[in-house]
Amino acid sequence: MSGYGSPAAGVVAQAAPLARQATVWAGSHQAPLLDAARLALARDLQLAFRKRGQLVQPLAFFAMVTMLFPLAISPELARLREIAPGVLWAGALLASLLALEFLFRDDAYDGTLEQYALSGQSLTWLIFAKTAAHWLLTGLPLALMAPLAALSLGVSDAAVPGIVASVAVGSVALSLIGSIGAALTLGIKRSGALLSLLTLPLSLPVLIFGARATQLAISGGPLLAPLELLAALAVLGVTLAPLAAAAAVRISLE
Amino acid sequence: MTWTWFHRLGSPPYVYALAARLTPWFAWPAALLIIGGLWGGLVLAPPDYQQGDGFRIIYVHAPSAWMSLMVYTTMAVAAAVGLIWRIKVAHAVAASCAPIGASFTFAALVTGALWGEPMWGTYWEWDPRLTSELILLFLYLGYMGLRAGLEDTQRADRASAVLAVVGVVNVPIIHYSVTWWNSLHQAPSVMRLAKPTMAASMLVPLLLMLLGFTLFFGAVLLVRLRGEVLNRERSASWIREIVNA
């Protein structure tokens, strides 16, 4: 490891025992599949909590995007309430896109991904665990923060459960779709624009159903149908995205 | 049954020569069909009772839109073949498809906008088909962007192949979600294209154009494929032999 002076190196060193345990277990073929995935998940969470500053960035970004609209359009709550679903979902989509950069980058730099690929464990499961950790660290906080943003746009508090549910379910799909794009762009310098070009078109169905569910939550309508469609997208993502992302990670390591 | 004909398709020199031989067989019929279809569509077919002569742009718009999807599917199938059986020529086919498909998509968007002006009174309407077409253009641009971003040809081939396969799974989902979205938002006052059964004098030129565009795609693909193979194999000895001959 070249950068011992950097704070990131210290963080990696602190979490190293856990990672080493994961690698040892994985290499000896003794750890069952789910144990390896659980260890990978725990390691990612532990590393992330040591770099809390990074966790806050997407949330702060989301708050700022929300703030842009009252400033750019009008401070009238009646008008803001009307555009609230679009604002929330465009903000959530962009924030989750921003957070994708953290998904694989550090692990690609320090060789962890290579170790995962060589470990003999199913790379698909390990990537799925990483994506799950990523959702816990970005999607879930976004879902919990979305009501705050919604209330600031004049939405009544009766809509809060519906908003939390739709962002929580939708962000699962966003994290999974994003994992493919993040894996494909591994190793490309300044990949931010490319990552958004790859990920955004694939995320549009999530945006459509999510915004619709949020809109219905705000107007008090029956939001189960779009919510179920969101859940269907999330299930499809859980089924297929880790396979594609693992294939993409392998390609990037070749 | 022998599979030698199939295995030979994996050999770049063979494909290079085959593509050269096949190109005229696509190009000439394409030219004849397109000329015939245009003559039939622009001159022989009667004006539409509702749209007058404005409908005639369908003879370019519909085949372009059809091709934009067909090329994407071809690209994804070629990419999957390359990914699964590790056939380099298949990746070259996929790489050659992308700019052609993006051009067809762009043509479909431009002709759709031009058609929208007399029909809807505006160049751009968030019509589900136009919107899907716009998203498809972004999918093509993403594919080409990923290719351009990865310098190593082999990695670019395999990574973009994964993207093409993921994209082709998503295209129907995107299309249906956009249709669903539109059915919620679109005001019913917007005039929609009624779809009466087309008169034969209008339909036949359209079918000629469809076939013509498909063959035209085949011809352009073969030409691009030769360029792609030449570029990839530029240090191979068989190319030196061709150049020196």
> What values do phi and psi take at B52, rounded to 5?
65, -135
Residue A22 has a pLDDT of 56
Least confident window among A7-16, A152-161, A197-206: A7-16
Q: Residue B1 pLDDT > 60, yes or no?
A: no
Enclosing domain of residue A89 = 55-253
Report the number of distinct structural domains present in chain A.
1
CB B204 within 8 A of CB B38: no
Arithmetic mean of pLDDT over chain A: 87
Question: Cβ separation of B167 and A197 shorter than 8 Å?
Answer: no
3-state secondary structure at position B188: coil
pTM score above 0.90: no
User: What is the mean predicted confidence (pLDDT) over B199-218?
Assistant: 91
Q: Using a CB-CB distance cutoff of 8 angstroms, which residues of chain B are in contact with residue A244?
A: 162, 165-166
Rounded CA-CA distance B16/B231 in Å is 11
Arithmetic mean of pLDDT over chain B: 88
Residue B188 has a pLDDT of 42
Rounded CA-CA distance B174/B147 in Å is 23
Tally A–B CB contacts below 8 A: 70
User: Is residue A88 situated within a structural domain?
Assistant: yes
User: Is residue A208 situated within a structural domain?
Assistant: yes
Rounded CA-CA distance A77/B212 in Å is 56
Q: Using a CB-CB distance cutoff of 8 angstroms, which residues of chain B are in contact with residue A187?
A: 150
Residue A62 has a pLDDT of 94
Question: Cβ separation of B149 and A205 shorter than 8 Å?
Answer: no
Q: Which residues pair with B48 in a beta bridge?
A: B52
User: Is residue A20 situated within a structural domain?
Assistant: no
Residue A8 has a pLDDT of 46
Rounded CA-CA distance A124/B37 in Å is 51
User: What is the mean predicted confidence (pLDDT) over B166-183?
Assistant: 87
Between B175 and A87, whose confidence is greater? A87
Question: Cβ separation of A244 and B145 shorter than 8 Å?
Answer: no
Share of chain A above pLDDT 70, in %: 88
Q: Using a CB-CB distance cutoff of 8 angstroms, which residues of chain B are in contact with residue A191?
A: 149
* Domain ranges across chain B: 37-185+198-244
User: Is residue A150 situated within a structural domain?
Assistant: yes
